[in-house]
Chains A and B, each alone.
Chain A
């Protein structure tokens, strides 16, 4: 089967982001999506630390320690961009102004519960940042993750075993093996990697997956 690379997954997510959307890309895998946004469309990236209209990394030597993203990496500001304080930034999320956020995850449940902030491991120092605000705030929450753990367990699950970040908040899950839509009727497989069948996915995830009317190849 043709497993998607991280870059292919990012390109796939980018295809579903329309012109004019206000988007927050989470730390980690989702940041790759920025590299695949179409240059002929205006899509505005938000960074939770207080900017809209985030541009790419600066040229070497042009870094500004006071112009950084949520991952504390130096970035640039596009023409038309804006700065604001933290209460405004999180009002953009919580208030439902952000169209899409793309997050990584440890697990997503069939009902859209998200677990991405804490493994729950004893001795782990917890840190949450903006994960819980993003999870419940954006109009649409896309998760981008590999479908299986390194030991082959599905990260799309009946019920999260890791501590949850938000309840019933994820609408789509983009993985290296399939794209899933979560809704009131359960999980639909809307796209599938070449060489993989719906039954293969059912056995990998041990979930009663529905095929969409038009399950396409990614």
Chain B
């Protein structure tokens, strides 16, 4: 019998090693797997490369991981926010490496990794500072930049419901990076509000098929959800 569910978030993140590359889902706090991140902080892995859209805000989740100085490098599109002070301080002190990627290229590179592509040609960023030094090509009269896939050892994502095969459905705009990060990581760990019996999720409505998910753990998110 396949059973990808784990009893605790601690067990789910136990083998994330020093120096690991870790994708973390979420756009701001929507879809941020806060309980998995908290468990990772307790677990203690360091020198991590984190892939996320942002670089943490406020004090919780990714911001707390940064504050604990566990992150060597962050790959993201929008690090600077009004309350990204933990990232800002590390960046100004030269204690964190930043790879800034246009948001759509971030998504496309993650998706390319999950889909087994060797690289992509993207029009986004052509002629800008973020394409400097990169190979370009003109295809049918349009200019493109060569970008490589972003792989990761682990992905920490948040979904609404999952089953023991790892099938997932999401909630509203918390879906954001979850489905593509699940594809791109060697080991995807999903924090879900509820584990449901196999067969409960409508097969037509499964957003992430279980093949992309290795671990499922039920936990109450601290990010309050109305209704």
The reply to whether the CB of A64 lies closer than 8 angstroms to some CB of chain B is yes
The reply to whether the CB of A83 lies closer than 8 angstroms to some CB of chain B is yes
Supposing A85-B180, A86-B180, A131-B102 touch, asked if A66 and B126 sit within 8 A by C-beta, the answer is: no
Least distance between B2 CB and chain A CB atoms (Å): 25
Q: Evaluate contact between B123 and A48: CB separation under 8 angstroms.
A: no
Q: Evaluate contact between B175 and A137: CB separation under 8 angstroms.
A: no
Provide the residues of chain B in CB contact with A131, threshold 8 Å: 102
| Bound Cα distance from A48 to B77, whole angstroms | 13
| Bound Cα distance from A133 to B102, whole angstroms | 7
Closest A residue, CB atoms, query B143: A167
Provide the residues of chain A in CB contact with B130, threshold 8 Å: 128, 132
The reply to whether the CB of A108 lies closer than 8 angstroms to some CB of chain B is no
Supposing A65-B224, A68-B30 touch, asked if A128 and B77 sit within 8 A by C-beta, the answer is: yes
The reply to whether the CB of A202 lies closer than 8 angstroms to some CB of chain B is no
Provide the residues of chain A in CB contact with B111, threshold 8 Å: 87
Contact residues of B between 93 and 109, Cβ < 8 Å to A: 98, 100-108
| Bound Cα distance from A136 to B173, whole angstroms | 24
| Bound Cα distance from A51 to B174, whole angstroms | 10
Interface mask (A55-79 → B, CB under 8 Å = 1, otherwise 0): 0000000111111100010000100
The reply to whether the CB of A39 lies closer than 8 angstroms to some CB of chain B is no
The reply to whether the CB of A129 lies closer than 8 angstroms to some CB of chain B is yes
Supposing A50-B173, A66-B30 touch, asked if A127 and B79 sit within 8 A by C-beta, the answer is: yes
Provide the residues of chain A in CB contact with B176, threshold 8 Å: 49-50, 85-86
Q: Evaluate contact between A83 and B175: CB separation under 8 angstroms.
A: yes
Q: Evaluate contact between A49 and B27: CB separation under 8 angstroms.
A: yes
Q: Evaluate contact between A65 and B225: CB separation under 8 angstroms.
A: yes
Supposing A62-B226, A64-B227 touch, asked if A118 and B30 sit within 8 A by C-beta, the answer is: no
- A90's partner among B80, B104, B170 (CB-CB below 8 A) is B104
- B173's partner among A49, A94, A163 (CB-CB below 8 A) is A49
Q: Evaluate contact between A132 and B125: CB separation under 8 angstroms.
A: yes
Q: Evaluate contact between A90 and B107: CB separation under 8 angstroms.
A: yes
The reply to whether the CB of B88 lies closer than 8 angstroms to some CB of chain A is yes
| Bound Cα distance from A129 to B102, whole angstroms | 6
| Bound Cα distance from A48 to B128, whole angstroms | 21
Closest A residue, CB atoms, query B100: A126
Provide the residues of chain B in CB contact with A118, threshold 8 Å: 129
- A133's partner among B80, B103, B110 (CB-CB below 8 A) is B103
| Bound Cα distance from A86 to B111, whole angstroms | 10
| Bound Cα distance from A164 to B132, whole angstroms | 12
- A-B interface, 8 closest residue pairs, ranked by CB to CB distance from nearest: A90-B104, A133-B104, A127-B80, A132-B102, A86-B107, A129-B78, A66-B174, A130-B103
